[in-house]
Chains A and B, each alone.
Chain A
Amino acid sequence: DTGVSQDPRHKITKRGQNVTFRCDPISEHNRLYWYRQTLGQGPEFLTYFQNEAQLEKSRLLSDRFSAERPKGSFSTLEIQRTEQGDSAMYLCASSPGGHPTGELFFGEGSRLTVL
């Protein structure tokens, strides 16, 4: 499968712990996005990279959240001092260059449960 891959698929952690999610986009895609989805809601935008540059961050992304894409390939999303409200599905998506609003290709998501 050459689609977007995310790891881990599921993570259960205790409140106050740090967690890190990884996303490997489709190889030729230079744009990478992180979204968060809670139960009964649609995905909400968190942040966006073009190559290694983080071009936009949502106000949803508190200072406990940090995302990187060091070499313009895979990306990591770290949550420090997790809270129960961080429990959600974290979705990664990628898209090729060209028109800004081309199709987004989503991964299967990383589900976080904070106890």
Chain B
Amino acid sequence: AQRVTQPEKLLSVFKGAPVELKCNYSYSGSPELFWYVQYSRQRLQLLLRHISRESIKGFTADLNKGETSFHLKKPFAQEEDSAMYYCALSRSNDYKLSFGAGTTVTVRA
């Protein structure tokens, strides 16, 4: 069975500092990886997916199959990045997502 691990429950950084959220997964096939974000008093929403290879709100994430990781990075954190971030995985041609436990990010001024 697939599993997603986010080792950090809480992450606090200063505005303008780099931020990296770790995500490791276990799955023997070819996964699809996602980062979802939940801002205060908002619903859970997609931030980015690995197949798109895009940068959203300054965030990027690279799938490293050798290390089975999909870490989320931003070089210069902003206060509006404060939120809960979830890494998620789906198996090839599957409809459901397996989520990690989430990381709460606080960006301090």
Enumerate chain A interface residues (CB-CB to B < 8 A). 3-4, 31, 33, 40-45, 48, 50, 55-56, 91, 100-101, 103-109
Contacts and interface: CB of A to CB of B under 8 A. Distances in A.
Contacts of A43: 44, 86, 97, 99
B32 A101 contact: yes
Contact of B95 (A40, A41, A48, A103): A48
B44 A91 contact: yes
B107 to A, nearest CB: 21
Contact of B96 (A40, A48, A108): A48
Interface on chain A toward B: helix, strand, loop, or mixed SS?
loop
Given A40-B101, A42-B86, A42-B102, A100 B43 contact: no
Nearest to A6: B43
A112 B109 CA distance: 36
A16 B89 CA distance: 35
A81 B37 CA distance: 33
Contact of A3 (B43, B101, B102): B43
Nearest to B88: A42
